[in-house]
Structure 1
């Protein structure tokens, strides 16, 4: 690829990203049922002009999902660098996740509605599934000892996906039907539930030891 071709490819990619960011703004404004016409209007292009940069609606949805997950991971960056007591780390992680969901509720609902299958209708791609991305990060942290103790993958992955799945399901229901609960109350409730599961899985003796270490290094 010569320099001119690379510059053109870079320009097209930059333009595509601008359109994706405009689509996210449109979703925030109009909700998860946003139309392609509303996205195009926000981007300042015609509908055909929008699709000159995407291979159809599925490609556009996948790009929006990937961009949203990228932003979520960036906003949760402090969570991926844990310090302090294990329970405090869990509390911060859940609070950060819930804060993102509550601040970007329309985008989250859009992602839930438009996750794309990988070929098997029961499986969703990580790029279109916030839960999968966060779960993978948590599992990696459990395996490599970032949370204070190394766990075998056979235990770490089910635990991570189970905990994140519980938080995600509870948050999704809360967004639709809060029943008067504040996000802080939901976070406290989920922290207690997740902590109980972790203590059972890892063992109270190990948790107590990690807690002492966290108090010294936090």
Structure 2
């Protein structure tokens, strides 16, 4: 039994290595790189590469899931309660823009569908739903909304994600963007804050953008305990 488990673990580790090799191939040669070329760049024969995946569609899904995890690894640490909300938002947008600028081909692959799958939008939707869930849950943690106002939490998070995505897509279309990446991140920061602040004010909630959230939220709402 132990040797079976060891074999399965070796297979999973090897497959994990090949997923990263596929990511490297995409970043080096673009979204159209084939499995044969991926195998070549990974330094293994095609049969060895192929036998670790059911088909190209499975490989594509695993690559996209890993790409999303890599992006979220940069973005998630920016969320917190010890910093002012504007600084938190700036950290999120900067991490988001920086990762995409650093990995344009991988981002393009994440936003596209498997060749021949006929489902171009599935993975892009999966990624956006991940962002929306994170932002929506963050809202729930920092502000106490009435039941009536809470129903706008997910649409607001969705609108923020959609806005950032649309701006980023348009920026990437320009061969020579007029706005540098740092300025783009700041534009997103200010724009998203205006969107968020406007909706919170309509619900009677005013948050100082330059005061740490833990100083603003929990003293006013003592039933919440600030996360450690």
TM-score, length-normalised on structure 2?
0.81
Q: In 2, Cα distance between the equivalents of 1:53 and 1:181?
A: 43
Q: CA deviation at 1:181?
A: 1.3
Q: CA deviation at 1:55?
A: 0.7
Cα deviation, 1:5-43, whole Å, max 9, x if unaligned, reads: 221111111010000000111111111222222211111
**Greater alpha carbon shift after TM alignment, 98-107 vs 164-173:** 164-173
Q: 1:213 to 1:40 in 2, by over 3 A?
A: closer
Q: Give the corresponding residue for 1:23.
A: 22
In structure 2, the gaps of 5 or more residues are: 217-228
Q: CA deviation at 1:162?
A: 1.3
Q: 1:49 to 1:69 in 2, by over 3 A?
A: same
Q: Give the corresponding residue for 1:133.
A: 130
Q: Give the corresponding residue for 2:169.
A: 172
Q: State the Cα RMSD in Å.
A: 2.7
Q: Give the corresponding residue for 1:72.
A: 71
Aligned 1:153-164 pairs, distance under 5 A:
154-164=151-161
Q: In 1, Cα distance between the equivalents of 2:114 and 2:198?
A: 33
Q: In 2, Cα distance between the equivalents of 1:179 and 1:209?
A: 33
Tell me the matched-pair count: 210
Q: 1:65 to 1:53 in 2, by over 3 A?
A: same
Q: Give the corresponding residue for 2:3.
A: 4
Aligned 1:104-115 pairs, distance under 5 A:
104-114=103-113
Instruction: Determine if contact 1:115/1:124 at 8 Å carries over to the other structure.
Output: no
Instruction: Determine if contact 1:85/1:213 at 8 Å carries over to the other structure.
Output: yes
Cα deviation, 1:99-146, whole Å, max 9, x if unaligned, reads: 111111110001112269xx99586258x8432222221111112x2x
Q: Give the corresponding residue for 1:41.
A: 40
Aligned 1:69-108 pairs, distance under 5 A:
69-108=68-107
Q: In 2, Cα distance between the equivalents of 1:57 and 1:120?
A: 13
Instruction: Determine if contact 1:95/1:187 at 8 Å carries over to the other structure.
Output: yes
SS of equivalent to 1:32: coil
Instruction: Determine if contact 1:111/1:129 at 8 Å carries over to the other structure.
Output: no
Which has the higher Rg, Structure 1 or Structure 2? 2
